[in-house]
Structure 1
Amino acid sequence: MVFLSLVASHSDIDLETVARLSAGASGVAAAVLDGTTPVSGAVVLATCNRYEVYCEAPGEKDIEAARSAVIAQISEASGLEERHVSAALATKTGEDAVNHLFAVGAGLDSAVIGEREIAGQVRRALIEAQQSGTASGPLVRLFQSASRTAKDVGSRTALGGRGLSIVSVALDLAEDLESSSAWESKNVVVFGTGAYAGATMALLKERGATNVSVYSASGRAEVFAATRGGTAVDDDSLAAALAAADVLIGCSGGDRRIAAEDLRGLDRGGRPLVAIDLALTRDFDQSIEDIDDVELITLESVRMAAPDEQAEALRQARVIVETAASEFADEQRQRTADAAIVALRRHTQRVLETEVQKVRAQHGCTAAAEEVEFAMRRMMRQLLHAPTVRARELAADGRHEEVESALETLFGISLGEPARAAGPDAGRRRETAEAQVCPVAGFEGRAASNVG
């Protein structure tokens, strides 16, 4: 088993491309698991400035086929040509994919270093994958470990201690642009009812904003406002809310985009307006910057204005992330070794049981037959000791594929497939043996306890 991640983020490409890749993101994981690809699990992490797909493939030899399958699905969902999708997505495999996700979850790869919002987005990505049935066991463990690591970074370092986030930095920029009044006296209109809208409402409340309206093109504003606060706005009352607004905050990325013509016809009395666009696919058209007294803050503006965190806190966070990622990788290698060891033991156990039944059939339920069986089990346990130890040593060194190859070459054992029976008549012999179990008191229990 190997992890594969395809990554597009603000660090490498423009946000417009990230937004185009994200189109139809929710369906990619399910589509790539249609049974025709080597992908056995997939989780999609889509945020305001990144689009990442994490997959599980059977082995190294399947990586390219898995990558091609994911790219094809993203191309179909986004409408972009496969060659453009391929060029936009960085590929990470194995421990590199693990390290990347752990760093992302801890906020080390964010536009605002140390932001805490991304940790919740990583958790939600896993929950959505589990609900849709696309998350495999290894991917569940990977994302859960990344979430635990993010918590450790938050509790054990000063990174993000100031509560910085994309939303908070954006609000700070808005304050710098319009410092004439406090948030208590500002009229704010929030677009959207998703996670970023929720975080925005919480931060506005912390800063004392009381006049907040919420608009949702999907009609969810009333339910959202009932739990988060604020006043719901619909299509009929949106124009009035825009006319009275001091600050607009876009968090929806929906089909409705506010353009210059939507604002020019309003009687705003000459008041300045700050529009904060946190939506990856833009809630506010660039044209609104052409209007006098309108300032536009975008995700790019936030990234440029994000403060640097303390060097020591960042160093500590990176150590925690690197250690956790290394420990997770070691655990995965151990799991691979354990699976190989179990497969080998199952194989040898079947061979052993076949020979034990021969002894029982020839000598019956005698003390001599019992001693022979005990001796055979002890010998088998001793024979398995050395390959068991060696398999774990190789796995610890990252050479687990050698273990799998050796099992398949020497014994015909392929991990993930049932162990082969000991000969074509093994099933019939086991059925016969089951009818010949010796009724010696404690015999079966003692025999089983000697299986290595």
Structure 2
Amino acid sequence: MLFCFTSSHRTAGFDLLDRLERGADAVTDAIREQQAVTGSVVLATCNRFEAYLDVDLDRLELRDHAAAELIDLVASAAEVPTDELRDGSQLIAGDAVATHLFSVSSGLESVVVGEGEIAGQVRRAYTSARKSGAVTHDLERLFQGASRTSRGVKNSTGLMTQGRSMVRLALDLAESRFADWSQVRVLLVGTGRYAAAALAALRERGVTDAAVWSRTGRAHAFSLSHGISAVPADGLTSAVASADLVITCTVSPGLVVTREIVSAAMADAEQRLLVVDLGLPRNVDPAVAEVERVELLDLETISLHAPLEELQATDSARELVGAAAAEFAAKTAEREVEPALLALRRHVFDQLEAEVARHASRDANGDIERALRHLVGVLLHTPSVKARELARDGDAAAFVEGVTAVFGVEPTATEPATRDGSVAESNVAEQGLETA
């Protein structure tokens, strides 16, 4: 059964997301050590932390309390108090997982609705898990469906092609601080996922004076490929002192721009300084905002100022996501009748082979065999279609029971004939699970 543990800007503060991001590797390792978890994909972005799990419920120690088990697992691995995590997260189960992921990958759940980076982040999370051998068949279907859906939303609605991003929103908020962008001196700290996007957005506004510093020594390569200057490894403080705008965008596990660095930089400086922290975990010490003439915009502040119109997804995009999720659920339901269909076909074809063998001595041209095989194909067509129709309507059990009653054959696979797989509705509701 598919589950999604999700903690995002909609359910948690950025402090909690920050700690989950820092514990991402530990959470991933802990999840993969669980016998009940047959597959997993962990997605960590600047405003969400999610784990998509394929769970064998029969292996859970507390089968009726799957939600509690999984939240405890994440809390322990990330070293976050269980009560805090429960209040700041959500556990989604069953068909609703597809609806959620398809919405996420299409940019409908982002701080800036329609932002284009998220589709790539989802794809990279899936690719990483696949290379590690952590992707099951159901997770493969799920993430392939998410990729198709996000492309469909982008191509059909243009929602993800309008330049929406956290970077652009941050610069929109900074607009009032600078009268002439061509005179603004910018320092990029880091060469991470937002650095190139930040530079492109700055140039669109007219910025020509930009430099980059990197704690990992990648500044020189980034500067050559993007046509800006590189700051020496020991030159961060002096570079901050010369800047009007500092944008941090690294994946460093610790603070990069500290209060001490900024205080030293501003000691002899006369200009005001705006620091924009796009890192998660955060790159900038919040105490930087206490330094005189310094203003800090971090992810939490930026998200609070997202304009209302950006938070409204287009109806057509929602409809596309809904249709894709419904088709995913229907295909999943169809799989529930496959064991019974296979048992029926095996039974019928065994009878066919026996009949063909009985007539072999007087069927030199194979006419009898061809006629019998055609007849069997015709006879099996209607039950096959009806089985899938019943499954899509949530009544797979009716077909399974019918095959057993009429033909006396039993499905050999152990897949359940009910949609949810096992968690009783009362327990699902008790644990706060969302189901389709």
Q: TM-score range by the shorter chain?
A: 0.7 to 0.9
Superposed CA deviations along residues 387-426 of structure 1, whole A, max 9, x for unmatched, are 4233112111133466567778963424379xxxxxxxxx
Give 3-state SS (helix, strand or coil) of 1:75's partner: helix
Q: d(CA) in 2 for partners of 1:350 and 1:88?
A: 56
Q: Is the 8 A contact 1:57 1:66 kept in 2?
A: no
Greater Cα shift, 402-411 or 160-169: 402-411
Cα pair 2:187 2:212 within 8 Å, conserved:
yes
Pairs within 5 Å for 1:43-442: 43-57=41-55, 70-71=70-71, 73-82=73-82, 84-157=84-157, 159=159, 162-176=162-176, 178-182=177-181, 184-254=182-252, 255-266=254-265, 267-309=267-309, 314-338=314-338, 340-346=340-346, 348-350=348-350, 353=353, 355=354, 365-367=361-363, 384-385=380-381, 387-400=383-396, 403=399, 411-415=409-413
In 1: Cα distance, 2:203 partner to 2:112 partner: 21
Deviations 1:292-314 (A, max 9, x none): 21111111221122123379962
Task: Name which of structure 1's ranges 140-149 and 52-61 shifts more when overlaid on structure 2.
Answer: 52-61
The answer to whether the Cα contact below 8 Å between 2:21 and 2:280 also exists between their aligned partners in 1 is: no
1:12 alignment partner in structure 2: 11
> Distance in 1 between the 2:310 and 2:17 partners?
29
The CA RMSD measured in Å over matched residues stands at 3.5
Deviation at 1:356, TM superposition (A): 5.2
Partner of 1:448: none
In the TM superposition, what is the alpha-carbon distance from 1:185 to its structure 2 partner?
Answer: 2.5
- Is the contact made by 2:115 and 2:163 (CA closer than 8 Å) also made in structure 1? yes
Question: Higher relative CO (CA 8 A, sep ≥ 6), structure 1 or 2?
Answer: 2
What residue identity is the alignment partner of 1:13? Answer: A
Q: Distance in 2 between matches of 1:311 and 1:83?
A: 29
Contact persistence 1:407–1:414 (CA under 8 A): no
Kindly provide the amino acid, as one letter, of the partner of residue 261 in structure 2: D
**2:257 partner SS:** coil
CA shift in 2, pair 1:373/1:19, >3 Å: same
Give, in whole Å, the separation in 1 of the partners of 2:68 and 2:346. Answer: 36
Amino acid at match of 2:11: D
The code of the aligned residue for 2:256 comes to R
Paired AA for residue 317 in structure 2: A
Moved more, 210-219 or 243-252: 210-219
SS at match of 2:296: strand
SS of residue paired to 1:119: helix
After superposition, the C-alpha distances for 1:55-111 in whole angstroms (9 at most, x for unaligned) are 223579978676566545533431224555445331112221111111112222111
What is the Cα deviation at residue 115 of structure 1? 1.5
AA partner of residue 153 (structure 1): V
- Please identify, of 324-333 and 403-412, the stretch whose mean Cα deviation from structure 2 is larger: 403-412
**Contact 2:340-2:410 at 8 Å conserved across structures:** no
* Whole-angstrom CA distance in 1 between matches of 2:15 and 2:313: 32
Offset, 1:323: 2.1
Aligned to 1:390, the other structure's residue is in SS state: helix
Residues 328 and 16 (structure 1 numbering): CA distance in 2 closer, same or farther, change over 3 Å? same
Q: C-alpha offsets along residues 220-260 of structure 1, whole Å, 9 cap, x if unaligned?
A: 33333333443333431212211111111122242233222
Q: Which TM-score applies when normalising by structure 1? A: 0.78
Q: Give the percent of matched residue pairs that are identical in Structure 1 and Structure 2.
A: 37
SS in 1 for 2:113: coil
Using the TM superposition, give the Cα deviation of residue 146 of structure 1 relative to its aligned residue in structure 2, in angstroms: 2.0
Letter in 1 for 2:300: E
What residue is the counterpart of 1:3 in the other structure? Answer: 2
Please give the alpha-carbon distance, in whole angstroms, between the structure 1 residues aligned to 2:9 and 2:281. Answer: 14
TM-score normalised to the size of structure 2?
0.80
CA contact (8 A) 1:167 1:199 kept: yes
Structure 1 pair 45–313 and aligned structure 2 pair: CA distance change class (3 A): closer
Contact map agreement 2:108 2:313 (CA 8 A) in 1: no
After superposition, the Cα gap between the structure-2 partners of 1:171 and 1:51, relative to the gap in structure 1 and judged at 3 Å, is same
What SS does structure 2 have at the residue aligned with 1:171? helix
SS of the equivalent of 1:40 reads strand
CA displacement at 1:217 relative to structure 2:
2.3
CA distance in 2 between counterparts of 1:387 and 1:303 reads 53
Unpaired runs of 5+ residues, structure 2, are 416-436
CA change 1:272–1:141 in 2 (3 A) is: same
Given the superposition, is the C-alpha separation of residues 281 and 406 from structure 1 closer, same or farther in structure 2, using an over 3 Å criterion?
farther
Unmatched 5+ stretches in structure 1: 418-452
Secondary structure, counterpart of 1:104 in structure 2: helix
Deviations 1:345-366 (A, max 9, x none): 235435654x459x55xx8734
Question: For residues 347-386 of structure 1, what are the alpha-carbon distances to aligned partners after superposition, in whole Å with 9 as ceiling and x for unaligned?
Answer: 5435654x459x55xx873449x88877875775566455
| Residues 1:406 and 1:139: Cα distance change in structure 2 (over 3 Å) | farther
Aligned to 1:424: none
